[in-house]
Structure 1
Amino acid sequence: MSRAFTRQDDNENVLADIGERPVSPHRNLVTETGLAQIEAALAELREQLGEAERSADREYIARVSRDLRYWTARRETAELSVPEPDSDVVRFGMTVTLEGPDGKQHTWTIVGEDEADASQGKISHVSPMAQALFGKGEGEIATVNGKEWEIVAIKAG
């Protein structure tokens, strides 16, 4: 077998391995920042697709096309949710300060799945912590994984 055929077979295997990015079955709630991030990702991917098509790099085209399909689906299902500024209970989009069992305080903002980043203090609305916090107010206790967290502050936005 010639090298050309081997190389082509390898390229086809790489393309077959790319697969689709899984789309969450949960509601696609987004903050204003999250919606802007989706729009920016789409714009960037459209630009990359043009570059990829000009380069004729099949693997690059496949990866960019896959990501473009993902973000297009996320944009189509995005539900912008802005918390009421005077809400006295935890809702999507709010920032919550908690005091843990060790007395240390932690602050989390509840955001959409695609913008969640625990290292930046952003947790997904479908996370166990967010689920335990929803509907609770300051002074109330949320229990997650057997630990009790007291809500010490709530802020919209």
Structure 2
Amino acid sequence: MERTNLITPAGFAAMRAEYSRLFEQERPKLVETISWAAGNGDRSENGDYIYGRKRLREIDRTLDRLSRRMKQAQVVDPARQPDRGRVFFGATVTIADEEDEERTVTLVGEDEADARAGRISWKSPLARALRGAAPGDVRRVELPGGAKDWEVTAIAYPAG
């Protein structure tokens, strides 16, 4: 059962670049090193061979995962969002809590989420609570530490 993987154009480009880097640069160099190491005799104590085979398996797993995610990807350009007055995928949202502490987050695909950079998965509890909200709306988010209310103070989308 395939599920859709929403992603921004920038996120898809980054995923494709990572795939290309691994497939076209890192993997061939590693295969060459493994071949050289295999020709050196006893493979059971050959660190270059053992490490190389382990790293090659890691790269192949990553390539397989990236390939599957790119096939499932549905690129959604937030700059084309017709309703810019509500929170949807790709929106950059400024929210304030009960203590007027502001936080700005951007709702992005699962593969491009980075909480430290303010990019949260559109499937996260906070993003689910914010979806469809307009400036001035207060949304309650159920968190492990308890419920918290957030008020949407601003919504922005990239220029189209």
Q: Which residues of structure 2 form unaligned runs of 5+?
A: 35-51
Q: Residue 151 of structure 1 corresponds to which residue in structure 2?
A: 152
Please give the per-residue CA displacement for 1:9-34, whole angstroms capped at 9, x wherever unaligned: xxxxxxxxxxxxxxxx7531101111
Give percent identity, aligned residues only: 35
Q: Report the 3-state secondary structure (helix = DSSP H, G, I; strand = E; otherwise coil) of the residue aligned with 1:51.
A: helix
Q: Report the 3-state secondary structure (helix = DSSP H, G, I; strand = E; otherwise coil) of the residue aligned with 1:152.
A: strand
Alignment of 1:125-136 (within 5 A): 125-136=122-133
Contact between 1:86 and 1:156, CA under 8 Å: does it hold in 2?
Answer: no
For residues 153 and 27 of structure 1, the distance between their equivalents in structure 2, rounded to whole angstroms, comes to 28
Q: Report the 3-state secondary structure (helix = DSSP H, G, I; strand = E; otherwise coil) of the residue aligned with 1:87.
A: coil
Q: Residue 48 of structure 2 corresponds to which residue in structure 1?
A: none
Alignment of 1:48-67 (within 5 A): 48-56=26-34, 57-67=52-62
Q: How many residues align?
A: 133
**Equivalent residue in structure 2 for 1:74, among 64, 69, 73:** 69
Q: Report the 3-state secondary structure (helix = DSSP H, G, I; strand = E; otherwise coil) of the residue aligned with 1:90.
A: coil
For residues 126 and 86 of structure 1, the distance between their equivalents in structure 2, rounded to whole angstroms, comes to 20
The TM-score with structure 2 as length reference comes to 0.79
Please give the per-residue CA displacement for 1:28-78, whole angstroms capped at 9, x wherever unaligned: 110111111111111111121111111112111111111110111111111
Q: Residue 115 of structure 1 corresponds to which residue in structure 2?
A: 112
For residues 83 and 130 of structure 2, the distance between their equivalents in structure 1, rounded to whole angstroms, comes to 17
Moved over 4 A (4+): none
Q: Which amino acid aligns with 1:102?
A: E
Q: Residue 20 of structure 1 corresponds to which residue in structure 2?
A: none
Q: Which residues of structure 1 form unaligned runs of 5+?
A: 1-24
For residues 31 and 125 of structure 2, the distance between their equivalents in structure 1, rounded to whole angstroms, comes to 42
After TM superposition, the structure 1 stretch with the greater mean CA deviation from structure 2, 63-72 or 26-35, is 26-35
Q: Residue 103 of structure 1 corresponds to which residue in structure 2?
A: 100
The TM-score with structure 1 as length reference comes to 0.80
Q: Report the 3-state secondary structure (helix = DSSP H, G, I; strand = E; otherwise coil) of the residue aligned with 1:75.
A: helix
Q: Residue 38 of structure 1 corresponds to which residue in structure 2?
A: 15
Q: Residue 84 of structure 2 corresponds to which residue in structure 1?
A: 87
Contact between 1:85 and 1:156, CA under 8 Å: does it hold in 2?
Answer: no
After TM superposition, the structure 1 stretch with the greater mean CA deviation from structure 2, 54-63 or 122-131, is 54-63
* Structural RMSD (CA): 1.4
For residues 94 and 27 of structure 1, the distance between their equivalents in structure 2, rounded to whole angstroms, comes to 19
